[in-house]
Amino acid sequence: MNDQAVAAARGIAIGGSVRFGVPQDFGDSWLPGVLARFSRAHPSVLIEARVDRANKLVERIAEGGLDLALMWGNPPVANTVTVQRLPMVWIGLKGYAVPRGATVPLALFESPCVFRQPAVEALERTQRPWRLAFTSPSLSGLWAAAVAGLGVTVRTALGLRSPLTVLGKSSGLPKLPQIALSLYTAQPEPPRAVARLREILIEELPLRG
């Protein structure tokens, strides 16, 4: 209602369309609220949202298919800025621990994945043996594998589903680095619909690094 009131007071009538891409981590919990807020304030704008992995979003950008996109890491794409840096975390069932010297079972996205290499490097740096226990092209697949106890996965805390939890020092797993969350805008001076959605995205980002 506030967005609608502000738009009306300013005499803003925004039309057109926005093609927007976002990682799977945002799809269930954060994205619906953002789209609902934007649609209430600007009902004439057509939004085409694509929820996918970062490499697929980069491919879509190369094809000219997105106006705006949030992506993990620092993708090799022009007109992209880092809007947050968030800690990577190990995720598994509560109480999950890997005894020292035991092989760490991993549930990870298929390569390429910006979370995969840092996880492997952290384990190898601390001389922890590991194996790829489960791989999937979808985040829901990784959550399912972790819930089943097949292994641990690596993401941020965004979109974390019960009964999974962030695993701390007691898990025996090494510390992970931060990861950038980048925002791509197709045009340096985008149309008003794209610029307004970009403003709302930044305002609504759920974590601050």
Q: What is the pLDDT of residues 24-39, one digit of tens each?
A: 998 877 899 999 999 9
Residue ranges, comma separated, of all CATH 3.40.190.10 domains in the chain are 2-83+181-204, 89-176
2-83+181-204 CATH pick, 3.30.1600.10, 3.40.190.10, 3.40.50.720, 3.30.360.10: 3.40.190.10
What is residue 160's predicted lDDT score, i.e. its pLDDT?
A: 86
Q: Which residues are within 8 A (CB) of 4 and not within 5 positions of it... i.e. 6 or more apart?
A: 40, 41
Q: Which residues of 47-61 are buried (b: 16+ CB within 10 A; e: fewer)?
A: beeebbbbbbbbebb
What is residue 5's predicted lDDT score, i.e. its pLDDT?
A: 46
Query: Is the confidence at residue 207, as pLDDT, over 80?
Result: no
Look at the domain 89-176 and name its fold: D-Maltodextrin-Binding Protein; domain 2 (3.40.190)
pLDDT tens-digit series, residues 177-202? 999 999 999 999 999 999 999 999 99
For residue 39, give Cα distances in angstroms to 13, 16, 26, 88, 100. 12, 12, 18, 32, 51
Cα 126 from Cα 139, distance rounded (Å): 27
What is residue 10's predicted lDDT score, i.e. its pLDDT?
A: 45
The three state secondary structure string of the chain is CHHHHHHHHCCCCCCCEEEEEECHHHCCCCHHHHHHHHHHHCCCCEEEEEECCHHHHHHHHHCCCCCEEEEECCCCCCCEEEEEEEECEEEEECCCCCCCCCCEEEEEECCCCCCHHHHHHHHHHCCCCEEEEEEECCHHHHHHHHHCCCCEEEECCCCCCCCEEECCHHHCCCCCCEEEEEEEECCCCCCHHHHHHHHHHHHHCCCCC
Give CA angle at 132 (128, 137), nearest 5°.
135
pLDDT tens-digit series, residues 118-137? 999 999 999 999 999 999 99
